[in-house]
Structure 1
Amino acid sequence: MDGRNVTDLDVTGPDESVNAPRDTPTQIEFRNVSKRYGTVSALANFSLAVSRGEFLTILGPSGSGKTTALMLLAGFVQPSDGDILIGGRSVSAVPPYRRDQGIVFQNYALFPHLTVRRNLQFPLEMRGMALVERAVRVDRILERVQLSELGDRMPSQLSGGQQQRVALARALIADAPVLLLDEPLGALDRNLREQMQTEIKGLHKEFAKTTVCVTHDQEEALTLSDRIVVMRDGQIEQIDTPEALYDRPATKFVANFLGEANILDRPGTIVASDLIRPPTAVALIRPERMFIAAKRRPRRLEADISQAVSGVVIDMVYAGPRRKYLVRLEDGADIIIREHVASGLDVFHSGDEVRVEWLRTDVRFVTP
């Protein structure tokens, strides 16, 4: 864009928006929402508040209820019980086209028979905006997403990344206060996903939309979100910031779903920690918090603040900047260790006897 303030994109429609800003920090609220399909419960007693301007991601495996929550918020599905509020107003009976939300679908849902420019003009036409103002706004958003030269192309003439930018631009151009993202980067390859993660973060910072994103991609959730909701079987398993969820997961499910986790729960296994171990809890150590060394070498960590156990390398995987080791400890437990590739570090192979060390402060306890 040309440096204008984001408020230059404000839209004045003929009717008062169903989610016009109110004097409340909460923009979106689910109140005890359930959704049932016959005897199957897709979402159960779901309560959640999303602050204005927050980027919240709903994360979970297939069948966890995350997409159902998004479809309920968008208005494409009606709740069986409970209520949904946007801007302090109930929208459970409000149709999708009156909820004043921008939506980006996994398949982008661009109109294939319209040019990029016409795709972007469409939501403005639906709001009754004058032709001249529509043209100005389309030019601005095309420049912001770096597609100024492609306005006259058809969607089929664009790359996946360019189509994603158009979909984002169309969701933002009408300046709706809420943005919904449904697996927005699922159709892109890894490198392009990383580029678009940076672009989405920049757009969120600039436009300050209250954003709810649904994904099964843990890295995407950790990178983009202010908070993450981890779903399991139609219910919330844990909500927290990305750092807190990764470093202090409450349950074994969250620990395993959000990254890799070494769960040391074999009978008789003793794990030293500076934390008090709750009843029935099991020890967790992230793979990157463990160190691997030749068994004959001196310890890398001071004995009074760490723990060391012997093991044998089962496998080593080279992954560019990192090596990933699978090690079987002397008590029979298999663990994963990740370390950055660096000069001076020993490289171990299957059958090598090693010592594994970790700091007592890096041990966490989770419920099974």
Structure 2
Amino acid sequence: MLIAEEKVLERSRPTPQIEFCNVTKMYGQIAAVRELSLTVRRGEFLTILGPSGSGKTTTLMLLAGFESPSKGDILIGGKSVADVPSYRRDQGIVFQSYALFPHLTVRRNLEFPLEMRGINASERLNRVDRILDRIHLKDYGDRMPSQLSGGQQQRVALARALIADPPVLLLDEPLGALDRNLREQMQVEIKSLHKELGKTTICVTHDQEEALTLSDRIVVMRAGQIEQIDTPEALYDRPATRFVANFLGQANVLENCGFKLESDSTPTPGTVAMLRPERICVAASVAPTRADGDLRQSVTGTVEDVIYAGPLRKYYVRAGNAILVVREQVASGQRTFQPGDEVRLDWLRSDIRFVT
């Protein structure tokens, strides 16, 4: 009876949309990706994040079909696609360079993937009109790509990838060519489209803010392997390794810091303490103790440098043997400390994390 129930439960579990099964990709003697095993859930937005040479782009190219694995298998919808060419994988792809046809109008760029699928003219017209309206470019159909701004071209590239309604959307550094304000606008647009359409989306980027903003889960890669995979909040707040802590945001690693560190948790062998800069409070050395002082650790130090960055101010404070980075929101009437000032730093003992 129990075996029968287990079989029913197994059949009721949804099939993962994408699976990498012990995938390795070799270029000569170099392993760009090593023993990669990864499951992507249907409808989720997964971002692959990592520095140059980490294997993130190779992973996307393997999924897109532009590269073939040297070992292992890739499954989409439970079926192997390791030997299936790119044009038969039914995926929408957006590149950093947009890759729009420069000799075709916006409308013809959008019609092209529909023509390749044999969709009739009236249906093509309806789909193009609908998606132009959705990306707020309904009056731009007759323009050439060169007549559009960078943000408009990126929206057309997204629309072209989505217009044939593929089950999977691949984004390769999609916002890398845009300036900061446009990137932020497009992040909102991409997040809105994902929420509306529910497409399984794989995004490759080196931009931490972009990954944190867009993703349901983030894969941090290093040297061709997964260093850690989790939700944005968990990765930022509970990094498993020193590499992740420093790559995703900024971290104060409290190693041989010259003062006794207090924490609510017990470190395990082979770990080191880490504290995020925004978790540290800075005050004058003679300021009254905070109301929750019994939950905090305090140290005194000397300001070595101050950096103003619009809404944020960064202090570099020498405390003991360490220089701690403190990041605070700029507020009206707030005291600003200068290099040479003696200050008190304090933080909740519960904010200390231990990483390998």
TM class, shorter-length? over 0.9
One-letter amino acid of the structure 1 residue matched with residue 327 of structure 2: R
Query: What's the counterpart of residue 253 of structure 2?
Result: 263
TM-score (ref. length: structure 2): 0.95
Shift of 1:342: 1.2
Query: What's the counterpart of residue 178 of structure 1?
Result: 168
One-letter amino acid of the structure 2 residue matched with residue 350 of structure 1: P
Total equivalences in the alignment:
345
One-letter amino acid of the structure 2 residue matched with residue 195 of structure 1: Q
Map residues 95-174 of structure 1 onto 2, 5 A cutoff.
95-174=85-164
Does the aligned pair in 1 maintain the 2:257–2:322 contact within 8 Å?
no
One-letter amino acid of the structure 1 residue matched with residue 273 of structure 2: A
1:114-149 Cα deviation digits (max 9, x unpaired): 000000000000000000110000000000000001
Give, in whole Å, the separation in 1 of the partners of 2:23 and 2:265: 37
Counterpart selection for 2:38 from 29, 33, 48: 48
Matched, 1:277 2:261: no
Matched, 1:293 2:304: no
One-letter amino acid of the structure 1 residue matched with residue 133 of structure 2: E
Counterpart selection for 1:326 from 293, 316, 320: 316
Give, in whole Å, the separation in 2 of the partners of 1:262 and 1:202: 35
Does the aligned pair in 2 maintain the 1:301–1:359 contact within 8 Å?
no
Query: What's the counterpart of residue 365 of structure 1?
Result: 354
Counterpart selection for 2:334 from 337, 345, 356: 345
Secondary structure of the structure 1 residue equivalent to 2:347: strand
* Shift in CA distance, 310/23, structure 1 to aligned 2, threshold 3 Å: closer
Give, in whole Å, the separation in 1 of the partners of 2:276 and 2:51: 21
Give, in whole Å, the separation in 2 of the partners of 1:269 and 1:226: 38
Matched, 1:88 2:86: no
One-letter amino acid of the structure 2 residue matched with residue 236 of structure 1: I
One-letter amino acid of the structure 2 residue matched with residue 129 of structure 1: I
1:201-236 Cα deviation digits (max 9, x unpaired): 000011110000000000000000000000000000
Q: CA RMSD in A?
A: 1.1
Shift of 1:268: 4.8
Give, in whole Å, the separation in 2 of the partners of 1:301 and 1:228: 37
Shift of 1:301: 5.2
Does the aligned pair in 1 maintain the 2:257–2:321 contact within 8 Å?
no
Secondary structure of the structure 2 residue equivalent to 1:259: coil
Give, in whole Å, the separation in 2 of the partners of 1:235 and 1:99: 25
Shift of 1:344: 3.3
Structure 1 segments of 4 or more deviating over 4 A?
Answer: none
1:27-85 Cα deviation digits (max 9, x unpaired): 00000000001111100000000000000000000000000000000000010000000
* Shift in CA distance, 23/166, structure 1 to aligned 2, threshold 3 Å: farther
Shift of 1:269: 3.9
Give, in whole Å, the separation in 2 of the partners of 1:275 and 1:45: 33
Of all paired residues, the percent bearing the same amino acid is 71
Give, in whole Å, the separation in 2 of the partners of 1:178 and 1:152: 28
Secondary structure of the structure 2 residue equivalent to 1:110: coil
Matched, 1:214 2:204: yes
Query: What's the counterpart of residue 3 of structure 2?
Result: none
Matched, 1:251 2:241: yes
One-letter amino acid of the structure 2 residue matched with residue 97 of structure 1: Y
Give, in whole Å, the separation in 2 of the partners of 1:123 and 1:107: 18
Query: What's the counterpart of residue 345 of structure 2?
Result: 356
Give, in whole Å, the separation in 1 of the partners of 2:259 and 2:222: 29
Does the aligned pair in 1 maintain the 2:32–2:54 contact within 8 Å?
yes
Shift of 1:305: 0.6
Matched, 1:61 2:88: no
Give, in whole Å, the separation in 2 of the partners of 1:203 and 1:308: 46
Give, in whole Å, the separation in 2 of the partners of 1:216 and 1:187: 13
Give, in whole Å, the separation in 2 of the partners of 1:106 and 1:145: 18
Shift of 1:93: 0.5
Does the aligned pair in 1 maintain the 2:110–2:160 contact within 8 Å?
yes
Query: What's the counterpart of residue 216 of structure 2?
Result: 226
Tell me, which stretches of 5 or more residues in structure 2 are unaligned?
1-11
Counterpart selection for 1:237 from 227, 241, 251: 227
TM-score (ref. length: structure 1): 0.92
Shift of 1:318: 1.0
1:170-194 Cα deviation digits (max 9, x unpaired): 0000000000000000000001100
Q: Relative to structure 2, which stretch is displaced further, 354-363 or 300-309?
A: 300-309
1:261-309 Cα deviation digits (max 9, x unpaired): 1110116542211111111211111011000001111123533210000
Secondary structure of the structure 2 residue equivalent to 1:175: coil
One-letter amino acid of the structure 1 residue matched with residue 91 of structure 2: Q
One-letter amino acid of the structure 1 residue matched with residue 341 of structure 2: D
Give, in whole Å, the separation in 2 of the partners of 1:54 and 1:226: 6
One-letter amino acid of the structure 1 residue matched with residue 296 of structure 2: S
